[in-house]
Structure 1
Amino acid sequence: MELTNSYLEEGFPFRGRKRKKMEEFLEKNGLTYDAEIVYSVLLCRKDGEIIGCGSRHENILKCIAVDASYQGEGLLPRIVTQLVKQAYSCGISHLFLFTKPEYQVIFGDMGFYPITGTDSMLLLENRKDGISLYLEEELARCPVVQGKEAGAIVMNANPFTFGHRYLTEKAAKACALLHVFVLSADASEFPADVRLRLVKEGCQDLKNVIVHGSSEYLISHATFPDYFLKDKAGASDKAAELDLKIFGDYFRKAFHITKRFVGEEPFSPVTRAYNEQMKQTLPAYGIEVVEIPRKTSGDTVISATLVREKFLAGDMEAVRPLVPDTTYHYLVSDAGTALRKQLLERQS
C-alpha cells in the first residue's frame, strides 16, 4: 500500500482512548503493551489511524510495530530514530531493544547489535560488543578469577539477610571460587548501591567470594522484565530463557562458572518459576544448578520480605536476629531511617 501523508505523535506515556488504540494495534501485531512504559511514539495516517508505534521503558526500546500494509515503506527507522533521539535528550545513550528474530537485519542497519535470542525473542543493544567489553572490565578488576572453575549466585539482596549469608557460605564451601552478582537494576525498595555495599560488607570475611554488580546484562529490565513485576502469577518462560542464555553464553565463559547456587523459593512465584527454568536451561551449558534449603530463625524462614516488613513497622528488635551486623547498622543509621521514611511515604 502506498504511504500517504503521516505524522508522529508523542505520549509520556499515552493515556485513555489513545493508549487503548495503541494496545489494540499492538495486539493485532502479536505484541502486548507494557504498563511500565514511560514514553511512546505513534506514527499515524492523516486520518489518525495508527500505522506504526514504538515505546521506551528506561533504556529499553520495546513494543515496536508497523502495520503489515506499510512494511517496506521506511516507517520503522522513522519510529526508532525518534525513540533514540528522545532517549538521548533524557541523557540515555546505552539502549537495548526487544524484537522478533526476523527483524535482526533491519535493526542491524540502524546500529543495533544482537546479544542473544530465542526462537521468538531477540535482544539487541546499540554498542558493538557491549557485553564483551563489560566482562573484560570485570575480569581486569579481579584478575585472580582467570583460569579457575567457579560457582555463582545472582541475588537481589533487598536487603542482605542471614538467609543470603547462609546461601553464600554454603556455596563458598562447595567451590574454589564464588562470584556473587548483585542485581544492578534500581527497581527495589533498597537502592542498588546500598544493596551492593551491604552484600560486600556482609561477605568481606569470605576470602574466596568476589562480589560484583550484575550490570544490565543479568536479570535487568532489559534481559528479564518479568522479574520486576511482582504481581504476576508466574514468569515468562521465554524471557527467563533469554536471561539464562546470556548467563550461559557470556558469564559462564568469562568466569569459568560450572555451578550456580539458588535458595529454595517458597514465596515469590516469579523467582520460583525462574529457578525451575534455570534447572532446564543451564545444564546444557555444563552448569550444575544447586538448590539450597532456606535458613530459618526458629520456625521462621528468613526472607528479605520479612525483614522489610519488620523494618517498615519500626520493629528493629524483630529485625535484629534476621540480618548481619553490617545490614542492621545500616538500617538503624540516619541513612536507613531516611530510607524508611521515604518508603512509608511512598506506600501512603
Structure 2
Amino acid sequence: MSDYMEETGDPFTGKKKEELKKFLEYMGLTYDEQITHSIVLRKEKEIIATASCQKNIIKCVAVSEAYQGQNLLAHLMTSLIEYFYGMGISHFFGFTKPQNKELFFSMGMYPVAQTEKILLLENDKNGLEKFLKRLKKETQEQQKCKVENRHENGIGAVVMNCNPFTRGHEYLIREAAKKNKWLHIFILSEEQSFLTTRERYQLVKEGIQEIPNVILHQTSEYMISPAVFPTYFIKEKAKAYEMNCQLDIQLFGERIAPELNITDRYVGSEPACDVTHTYNQCLREQLPCYQIRFHEIPRKTYGDQIISASEVRKKYAENQLKSVCGMLPESTWRYLERKKNENGK
C-alpha cells in the first residue's frame, strides 16, 4: 500500500468532497449527502478507490477499474471496520445493486434480503435470525401478562414512529386491537430529532397499558423507514423510494410476519404526506403477495384538524404546546410539559 495515500473525512467538505463526488459519478454512483465518514485512496493525488458510511450503513464503495484486483477493497474494509469499532459499532449493513454482491461478499458481508434492484447485506451471518428470535421471545413473555381477544382470530401489526405518541396513534392501535386476537406494535428504533428511541417507546408503553391484547417491540435495522434507505446506486431516482418500499415489504412479508404469524397490517390514512401515502400504496399492492391483509384506517381528527405528530412538534418548538393538548394522551402531554420546562422553553 506504500504506493497509495489514504485520506479520511467526517465527512469531506469543499474541494475534497467535490473530487469524491466526481469520482463516484464516473463510477456510476451518486454521492449520498447523509454520509458521516469517508475513506479515499489516492495515487498521484487522484482518487482510485473509496468507501463511506452513514453511522453503521456502508455506502458509496467503488474501486477504479484500472486498480481492481489489487486488494484495495480489503484495505478500505479494514479501515472502515477499525472506524466502526472505534465508534462502538459492531453490527453494520450495506445496500447495493444485486450485481455487486460478490464485491460485498468479499468484504465479509452476508445477504439479508434482495429484490430485483436492491440487495441488503450485514456483517453478522445470523443477525436476522437473532432479531427474529428476540421478537418471538418478547411475544411469549408479554403474552404471559396480557389477555388475548377471544372474539377474533387474526394477528395484526402496526409499524410506527410515534414522535411523539398522539391520540391518532392511540386510535389506530385501539381500532386494530379490536379486530385481532393479538396486535404487534413495532416502534421504529432509528434515532430521530425531538424524542429519542427510548422516549418514544416509553410513551407508547404508557399510552397503551390499558389495551389488553397488544405486544410492544422496538425494531432494529431490519425494520427502518424506507425513506432512509440509501439510493446512491439507483439511477432511476424518481422510482428509488418505491424500490426501497419493495425491499422493506419483502423483508416483513417473507421473514418477520411468518415468525409471528401476522395476518393483517394496519396503517393510518395519509392525506398530507406524499412519502407516507406512497408507502401505504405499496403496502396495499404488495402485502397480499405474502397472504397479509392490508387495512387503512381513517385518521382521527381534533376538531376539524387531522391529528399529526409533526403538528405537535411544530407547536412545541413555537412554545404553543397547549394549543394541541387535545391531540395528546395524558401521559404524552405530561411528559412534553415537563421536558419543555426542563429545557426552559
Asked whether the two chains share a fold, i.e. TM above 0.5, the reply is: yes
Q: Aligned match of 1:240 in 245, 266, 274?
A: 245
Cα contact 2:73–2:107 (8 A) shared by 1? no
Instruction: Describe how 1:198-209 pairs up with structure 2 within 5 A.
Output: 198-209=203-214
Pairing of 1:38-117 with structure 2 (within 5 A): 38-45=36-43, 47-117=44-114
Alpha-carbon distance between aligned partners in 2 of 1:339 and 1:235, rounded to the nearest angstrom: 39
CA distance in 1, matches of 2:284, 2:260: 20
Q: Aligned equivalents of 1:131 and 1:296: distance in 2?
A: 38
- In structure 1, the partner of 2:336 is 331
Secondary structure of 1:107's counterpart equals helix
Deviation at 1:40, TM superposition (A): 0.2
Shifted more, 238-247 versus 288-297: the winner is 238-247
Moved more, 107-116 or 177-186: 107-116
> Using the alignment, how far apart are the partners of 2:221 and 2:264 within structure 1?
22
Once the two structures are TM-superposed, the CA of residue 51 in structure 1 deviates from its matched residue by 1.3
* Structure 1 residues 43 and 340, CA gap change in structure 2 (3 angstroms): farther
Match of 1:122 among 116, 119, 123: 119
Which residue does 2:322 correspond to in 1?
317
2:140 alignment partner AA: P
Give 1:130's aligned amino acid. G
Q: Cα deviations across residues 218-275 of structure 1 (Å, max 9, x unaligned)?
A: 115897358xxxxx99861122211221111221111111111111112222222221
- In 2, distance between residues paired with 1:71 and 1:234? 31
Task: Give the residue type in structure 1 aligned to 2:25.
Answer: E
User: Equivalent residue for 1:279?
Assistant: 284
Render the CA deviation track for 1:196-231: whole Å, top value 9, x for unaligned: 1111111111111111111221115897358xxxxx
Query: Are the structure 2 counterparts of residues 223 and 38 from structure 1 closer, same or farther at C-alpha, using a change threshold of 3 Å?
Result: closer
Task: Tell me which residue corresponds to 2:200.
Answer: 195
Distance in 2, matches of 1:303 and 1:285, equals: 30
Q: 2:156 aligns with which of 128, 151, 158?
A: 151
RMSD, aligned α-carbons? 2.4
- Structure 2 gaps of 5+ residues are 145-152, 232-236
Residue 92 of structure 1 aligns to which amino acid in structure 2? I
| In 2, Cα distance between equivalents of 1:30 and 1:242 | 22
Distance 1:22 1:225 in 2: 17
Between 117-126 and 56-65, report the one with greater CA deviation. 117-126
**Which of the residues 172, 178, 202 maps onto 1:173?**
178
Q: CA deviation at 1:31?
A: 1.6
Deviates more, 1:314-323 or 1:324-333: 314-323
Moved more, 163-172 or 261-270: 261-270
Shift of 1:110: 2.9
Distance 1:202 1:234, change over 3 A: farther
Percent of pairs identical after alignment? 43
CA 196–165 in structure 1, closer or farther in 2 if over 3 Å, else same:
same
Name the SS of the counterpart of 2:91 in structure 1: coil
**2:138 matched residue in structure 1:** 141
What is the TM-score normalised by the length of structure 2? 0.89
How far does residue 118 in structure 1 lie from its aligned partner after superposition? 1.7
Gaps of 5+ in 1: 227-231, 342-348
Deviations 1:274-307 (A, max 9, x none): 2122222222111111111110011111100111
Counterpart AA for 1:215 = S
CA distance in 1, matches of 2:120, 2:227: 8
AA partner of residue 46 (structure 2): E
1:266–1:243 Cα change, 3 Å:
same
Give the Cα separation in 1 of the matches to 2:276 and 2:158.
14
Q: Which residue of 2 aligns with 1:19?
A: 17
The one-letter code sitting in structure 1 at the alignment partner of 2:17 is: R
- Paired residue secondary structure (2:134): helix
Q: In structure 2, what is the Cα distance between the partners aligned to 1:26 and 1:112?
A: 22
From 19, 32, 35, the equivalent of 1:34 is 32
- Structure 1 149/306 Cα, relative in aligned 2: closer, same or farther at 3 Å? same
Q: TM-score, normalised by structure 1?
A: 0.88
Alpha-carbon distance in 2 for matches of 1:139, 1:222: 27
Which contiguous aligned blocks of 4+ residues in structure 1 show a shift greater than 4 angstroms?
A: 220-223, 232-235
- Given that 2:138 and 2:217 are in contact with CA atoms closer than 8 Å, whether structure 1 keeps it comes out as no
Distance 1:291 1:340, change over 3 A: farther
Whether the 8 Å CA contact 1:224–1:242 is kept in 2: the answer is no
User: Given residue 82 of structure 2, which amino acid in structure 1 is its aligned partner?
Assistant: K
Q: 1:289 is paired with a residue of what secondary structure?
A: strand
- Name the amino acid aligned to 1:256: N
Deviations 1:34-86 (A, max 9, x none): 112111001111x2111111101111111111112222222212112111111
Contact preservation (8 Å) 2:267, 2:297 = yes
2: CA distance, partners of 1:101 / 1:30: 15
Counterpart in the other structure of 2:254: 249
Retained in 2: the 8 A contact 1:235–1:274? no
Report if aligned partners of 2:4, 2:42 keep a CA contact under 8 Å in 1. yes
